[in-house]
Amino acid sequence: MATLLESEGYSVTVADQVAPAYKVDHVICDVRHLDPVLTEKVKAASGVVFALPESVAAASLAVYAPLLTSVDVVVNTCSVQVPFHQIAADCLPSVSVVGVNPMFSPKLACHGRPVIVCEQVQSQAGAMMSALLARQGMDVSQMNPSDHDNNMALCQALPHAAILSFLTALVDEGCDIKVIYQIAPPPMKTLLSLAARILANEPETYWDIQAYNQAASKQRDKLMASLSILNTQVESNDFSAFVSQLDDSKQHLKEILPQSEKEAECIFQTLMTLNTGGQDELSR
């Protein structure tokens, strides 16, 4: 966010417990407590961005709220939006509060990637932030915090829970992972890649998505129930129920199936190309 805002001509100060890896004005402090230097920076600011894990964002908002009553906008980048917006509504009722949740890792380039802008009520500040993100090449969607969290329970909490469950089962098996990796078909390689992606990022991100979204537990329950249904079908040798469930799924997903099939083919082809030293199946 700091780099993005600087590229748009804003003067930026970063507050963190460690110095940033890039050249930018910064204050080293714990934002959960009032800091005299940061206090003066906040008093002079037109906007404040809370690019923090959920619990830290909530704690620092409560601490610095008395200094934020005169700013134009308060932005947060939380994976779960409702809690931050609820706190802000209580302590900053007259300040525009905008959530920005990128649907990609901050390690990746932002151009062409989806980002969600969240507001309880649409504002000029939200429109400004949406326009700024669009100018950076991002695909901007807008929704209120409640809709955001319900959608994120499906788009993030559910797939992350499935990947984490897969990872736990794999590790618990105690298998020779080198052998498994060598013989793995594309779906297994894809799941291993997704698991590796989670392990390469900060655990706080994935914990916050599960722990702070009230809609996430419902999706975990559904995931566990779906495995129970599969077990029941197999144990009772009910192939017809298995086929019927797949047919229902195909019907529900029919609008996106052709594109998703192409994307799966592209993923599998990329994996094959990586594993064959740059040669795809057609060139071998």
Query: Residue 192: its pLDDT value, please?
Result: 97
| 60, 198, 274 from 203: Cα distances, Å | 20, 8, 27
Query: Residue 279: its pLDDT value, please?
Result: 56
280/18: higher pLDDT: 18
Query: Residue 107: its pLDDT value, please?
Result: 78
Tell me the HSE value of 112 on the side-chain side, using a 13 A CA sphere: 2
CB 58 within 8 A of CB 87: yes
Mean residue pLDDT of the chain comes to: 94
DSSP designation for 209: H
For 108-261, list the strands marked E by DSSP. Answer: 114-118, 139-143
Interval 35-52 mean pLDDT:
96
Interval 222-236 mean pLDDT:
97
For the question of whether the overall pTM of this predicted structure is more than 0.85, the answer is yes
Pairing of strands 47-50, 73-76: parallel
pLDDT category at 272 given cuts 50, 70, 90 is confident
Interval 89-118 mean pLDDT:
93
pLDDT category at 281 given cuts 50, 70, 90 is very low
Given a cut of 80, whether residue 280 has pLDDT beyond it is no
Pairing of strands 114-118, 139-143: parallel
Query: Residue 210: its pLDDT value, please?
Result: 96
Query: Residue 211: its pLDDT value, please?
Result: 95
Query: Residue 262: its pLDDT value, please?
Result: 97
Interval 75-102 mean pLDDT:
96
Given a cut of 80, whether residue 58 has pLDDT beyond it is yes
Given a cut of 60, whether residue 120 has pLDDT beyond it is yes
